[in-house]
């Protein structure tokens, strides 16, 4: 069964700027009448026509979606509505991303976080993995559970595997983005991922550079040979965010001596 | 003095050029889509070029505080090439809606062939449909006749003349364009076409109303600092600063503001790049601020 697509029309229309109503009604009508072929001319205009006012709509929780709409703008919601109005689940989103400017790409990626997993989703997660444009990584995989939905949709069938998730987490580490905003990802900790993060941490330490704080969370959840030593050191780390992550990791790790240090 | 450089093919220039332009007062640059020095054989190479003008070149310019805009079009030279002409026209509509696209151009005539005329006229209609001004390339050979033919095609199209910039003008063509209601453009080169001294004489004779100058810097012998060099000649000719500012700042902004996608306020401050970002996986900054941004 295909997941439903939430209707954000109310959110988009509540924030329409003065004078944008006519354009918006025409855009919606074009999307409905012409389908995906209308979108390449409509998406570039979304930011300047609809604007970037924040939705301030809180957390959207409706199975299978978990998305923080406070991270969305009016133009993002409008893009989501147009994609759905065009009535096609596959194809146009990837084209819109590849031929889009920075804003269009952001809008497309946001929209994917509230749409069913499809070949488009997998293609765009691949684009997110290859880009270092931080806001596109944020738009695609933060403030949402898209990565975990893609993983749970069937791995080999959809093309997003545990290996892909590992690479994505390393990407977050490289860009210093918090895993807490990629909802559900921490629940998919594996020993292989912990080892990848440990190796990355050792490279950083050898270079005298900071280590991604969320490393300690993963090493506590999926133990490897160095987990205990790193967690113990993390509890006394100079950076408060590392200490907090280490405490979180220790609770998941369950070592009695380390847990006593938490109580001390 | 702030400068809006309204015609520069930065795709062909090195990064040092951006820095030198910024240091000379260039606050914004407009890059018209054009020929790339050799013929292309498939539409995909146009699409990648268009995407570069929307993305990478903007990022490259912003590192030096320069706002980057562009115009999009099938250029007249390649309008003659059936391997690409119709396919490029088919992809243009989506690009003409992009935020940083302020017009349709370079369109116009080069060798003055029937195919060039066909695609020129079709692209003027695209401009009308997308509510954009047009930047018109005029021939470098048989120029006067080419100007006259361009003007005829534009008049037949119905586009308002104030939304037309007829570029690559000289002492002869200004006599054709000054009373048309269009903008008259002059591309200043080190050795050919138009130079700073000749340009200063044209300004002294005709004034600065609807006049625009540019460097048109490209793949050949050209110089992205031709507007600053021309400003020096204008000052030596005792053209008032207010007139020079109108020529190199206010006029190009007024022309491209007709797109509805540019306001002078947008250019009140230099552009800024988010230096925490690399661009599309490209780590060209390597954590460094470009020198022009350093205090």
pLDDT digits (tens, 9 = 90+) for A206-237: 999 999 999 999 999 999 999 999 999 999 99
Backbone phi, psi, residue B205, to 5°: -80, -40
Question: Residue A176: how many CB atoms within 10 A of its CB?
Answer: 13
For chain B, domain boundaries: 3-270
Q: Which of A42, A44, A135 sits opposite B98 (nearest CB)?
A: A44
Interface residues of chain B, partner chain A, Cβ below 8 Å: 47, 51, 54-55, 93-94, 97-100, 261, 274, 276-283
pLDDT for res A104: 96
What is the distance in angstroms between the Cα of B91 and the nearest Cα belonging to chain A?
A: 9
Is pLDDT larger for residue B285 or for residue B272?
B272
CATH class of B3-270: alpha beta
* pLDDT at residue B274 in the model: 60
**Token pair for residue B66?**
């320069």
Structure tokens that stand for A28 in this block: 């919606």
- B94–A101 C-beta distance less than 8 A: no
Distance from CA of A149 to the nearest CA of B (A): 25
- φ/ψ of B104, rounded to 5, equals -105, 125
Closest CA to B196 of B229, B238, B244: B229
Rounded to a whole number, what is the distance in Å from the CA of B275 to chain A's nearest CA?
Answer: 10
pLDDT band per the 50, 70, 90 thresholds, residue A89 = low
Q: Which residues face A65 on adjacent strands?
A: A62
> Residue B15 above 80 pLDDT?
yes
How does DSSP classify residue B257? G
Please tell me which of the candidates A42, A132, A134 has its beta carbon nearest to residue B283: A132
Using a 10 angstrom Cβ sphere, with 0-12 exposed, 13-18 middle and 19 or more buried, the burial of residue B244 is buried
Instruction: Supply the pLDDT for residue B272.
Output: 84
A54 — phi, psi (to 5°)?
A: -70, 145
pLDDT band at B281 (very low <50, low <70, confident <90, very high): very low
The half-sphere exposure of A99 on its side-chain side, counting CA atoms within 13 A, is 24
Residue with tokens 């138009």: B194
Q: In the predicted model, what is the mean pLDDT of residues B173-192?
A: 93
The span from the CA of B169 to the CA of B154, in Å, is 16
**Alpha carbon distance, N-terminus to C-terminus of chain B:** 19
Q: Between A101, A132, A134, which is nearest B98 by CB?
A: A101
A130 to chain B: closest CA residue: B281
Task: Return the DSSP state at B246.
Answer: I
Cβ pair A261, A249 in contact under 8 A: no
B53 in Cβ contact with B10 (< 8 Å): no
Across the range A144-168, mean pLDDT stands at 89
Chain B residues whose beta carbon lies within 8 Å of the beta carbon of residue A47? 99
**What SS3 class is residue A176?**
coil
A101: helix, coil or strand?
Answer: coil
Is a pLDDT exceeding 50 seen at residue A61?
A: yes
C-alpha pair distances (Å), B237 with each of B196, B200, B201, B240, B285 = 11, 7, 8, 9, 42
Burial of B287: CB neighbours in 10 Å, binned 0-12, 13-18, 19+ = exposed
Start-to-end CA distance of chain A, whole Å, equals 51
Contact A45 B97 (CB under 8 A): yes
Bridge-based pairing state of the strands B3-5 and A65-68: unpaired
Q: For B116-165, write each residue's pLDDT tens digit.
A: 999 999 999 999 999 999 999 999 888 899 999 999 999 999 999 999 99
Torsion of CA A184, A186, A192, A197, to 10 degrees: 130
- What is the pLDDT at residue A131? 85
Bridge partner list, A182:
A144
Place of tokens 């048109």: B216
Test A132 with B98 for CB contact under 8 angstroms.
no
Cα of B54 to nearest chain A Cα, Å: 6
Q: What angle in degrees, to the nearest 10, is found between the helix axes of A134-141 and A119-130?
A: 150
Q: Per-residue pLDDT for B188 more than 90?
A: yes
Cβ burial of A172 (10 Å; 0-12, 13-18, 19+) is: buried
In total, the C-beta contacts within 8 angstroms joining chain A to chain B are 43
Given this model, what pLDDT does residue B193 score?
A: 80
Question: Between these two residues, A263 and A147, which has the higher pLDDT value?
Answer: A147
Helices (H), B55-104: 56-62, 76-79, 85-95
pLDDT range class, residue B276, cuts 50, 70, 90: low
Residues of B in contact with A27 (CB under 8 A): none
* Among B99, B261, B279, beta carbon nearest to A101: B99
| Share above pLDDT 70 across residues of chain A, in percent, rounded to a whole number | 97
Under 8 Å between Cβ of A140 and B288: no
Contact B62, A11 (CB under 8 A): no
pLDDT of residue B250: 98
Q: B164 — phi, psi (to 5°)?
A: -120, 130
Longest dimension (CA), chain A: 67
- pLDDT at residue B288 above 60? no
Task: Report the distance separating Cα B234 and Cα B238, nearest Å.
Answer: 6
What pLDDT shows up at residue A4? Answer: 87
Please give the C-alpha separations between residue B99 and each of A71, A170, A203, B71, in angstroms, as whole numbers: 22, 33, 42, 11
Cα–Cα distance between B239 and B222 in angstroms, integer? 25
Question: Does residue B230 contact residue B190 with C-beta atoms inside 8 Å?
Answer: no
Q: Residue B215, preceding bond cis, omega within 30 degrees? A: no
- Can you give the pLDDT at residue B295? 42
Our measurement of the distance from residue A166's CA atom to the centroid of its chain's CA atoms, rounded to an integer in Å, reads 14
| Mean pLDDT confidence for A162-177 | 95
pLDDT, tens digit, 9 for 90 and up, residues B243-270 = 999 999 999 999 999 999 999 999 999 9
Enumerate residues 101 to 140 of chain A having a beta carbon within 8 A of any beta carbon in chain B.
101-103, 130-135
Which token pair is A193?
A: 């991922």
Query: When comparing pLDDT for A65 and B59, which is higher?
Result: A65
Count the Cβ atoms, other than its own, within 10 Å of residue A131: 21
Of B47, B93, B277, the CB nearest to A132: B277
Which residue(s) pair with B211 in the sheet? Answer: B184
Say which residue the tokens 């009016």 belong to: A74
Do B116 and B76 meet the contact criterion of CB atoms below 8 Å apart?
yes
Would you kindly state where each structural domain of chain A is located, as residue ranges?
1-188, 190-264
Distance CA A29, CA A15 (A): 19
CA atoms of B176 and B197, how far apart (whole Å): 21
What are the percentages of helix, strand and coil residues in chain B, rounded to 5? 45, 15, 40
Q: Which residues of A, range 10-69, sit inside 8 Å of B by Cβ?
A: 40-45, 47-48
Q: pLDDT category, A263, cuts 50, 70, 90?
A: confident
Strand partners of residue A125: none
Mean pLDDT (whole number) for B96-113: 96
């Amino acid at each position: 069964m295909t997941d439903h697509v939430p209707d954000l029309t109310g959110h988009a229309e509540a924030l329409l700027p003065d004078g944008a109503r006519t354009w918006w009604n025409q855009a919606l009508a074009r999307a409905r009448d012409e389908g995906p072929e209308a979108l390449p001319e409509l998406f570039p205009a979304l930011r300047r026509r609809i604007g970037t006012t924040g939705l301030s709509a809180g957390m959207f929780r409706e199975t299978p979606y978990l998305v923080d709409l406070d991270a969305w703008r009016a133009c993002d919601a409008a893009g989501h509505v147009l994609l759905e109005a065009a009535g096609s689940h596959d194809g146009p989103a990837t084209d819109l991303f590849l031929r889009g400017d920075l804003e269009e790409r952001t809008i497309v990626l946001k929209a994917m976080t509230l749409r069913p997993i499809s070949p488009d989703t997998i293609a765009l997660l691949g684009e997110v993995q290859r880009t270092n444009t931080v806001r596109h990584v944020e738009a695609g995989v933060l403030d949402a559970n898209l990565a975990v939905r893609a993983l749970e949709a069937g791995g080999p069938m959809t093309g997003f595997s545990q290996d892909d998730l590992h690479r994505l987490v390393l990407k977050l580490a490289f860009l210093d983005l918090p895993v807490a905003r990629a909802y559900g990802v921490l629940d998919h900790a594996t020993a292989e991922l912990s080892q990848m993060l440990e190796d990355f941490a050792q490279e950083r330490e050898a270079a005298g550079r900071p280590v991604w704080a969320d490393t300690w969370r993963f090493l506590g959840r999926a133990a490897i040979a160095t987990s205990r030593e790193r967690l113990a050191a993390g509890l006394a780390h100079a950076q408060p965010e590392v200490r907090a992550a280490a405490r979180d990791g220790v609770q998941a790790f369950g070592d009695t001596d380390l847990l006593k240090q938490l109580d001390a | 003095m702030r400068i809006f450089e309204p015609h520069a093919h930065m795709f062909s220039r090195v990064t040092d050029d951006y820095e030198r332009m910024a240091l000379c007062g260039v606050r914004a640059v407009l890059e018209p889509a054009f020929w790339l020095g050799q013929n292309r054989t498939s539409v995909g190479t146009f699409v990648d070029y268009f995407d570069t003008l929307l993305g990478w070149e903007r990022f490259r310019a912003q590192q030096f505080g320069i706002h980057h805009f562009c115009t999009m079009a099938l250029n007249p030279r390649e309008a003659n090439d059936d391997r690409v002409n119709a396919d490029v026209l088919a992809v243009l509509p989506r690009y003409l809606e992009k935020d940083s696209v302020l017009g349709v151009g370079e369109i116009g005539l080069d060798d003055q062939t029937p195919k060039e005329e066909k695609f020129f006229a079709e692209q003027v209609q695209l401009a009308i449909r997308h509510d954009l001004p047009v930047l018109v390339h005029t021939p470098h050979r048989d120029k006067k006749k080419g100007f006259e033919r361009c003007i005829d095609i534009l008049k037949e199209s119905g586009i308002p003349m104030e939304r037309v910039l007829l570029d690559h003008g000289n002492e002869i063509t200004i006599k054709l364009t000054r009373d048309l209601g269009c903008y008259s453009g002059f591309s200043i080169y080190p050795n050919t076409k138009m130079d700073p001294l000749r340009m200063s004489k044209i300004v002294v004779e005709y004034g600065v109303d609807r006049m625009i100058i540019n460097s048109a810097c490209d793949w050949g012998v050209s110089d992205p600092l031709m507007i600053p060099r021309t400003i020096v000649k204008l000052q030596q000719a005792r053209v008032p600063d207010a007139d020079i500012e109108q020529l190199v700042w206010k006029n190009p902004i007024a022309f491209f503001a007709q797109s509805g996608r540019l306001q002078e306020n947008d250019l009140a401050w230099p552009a800024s790049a988010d230096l925490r970002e690399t661009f599309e996986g490209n780590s060209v900054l390597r954590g460094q601020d470009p020198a022009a941004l350093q205090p």
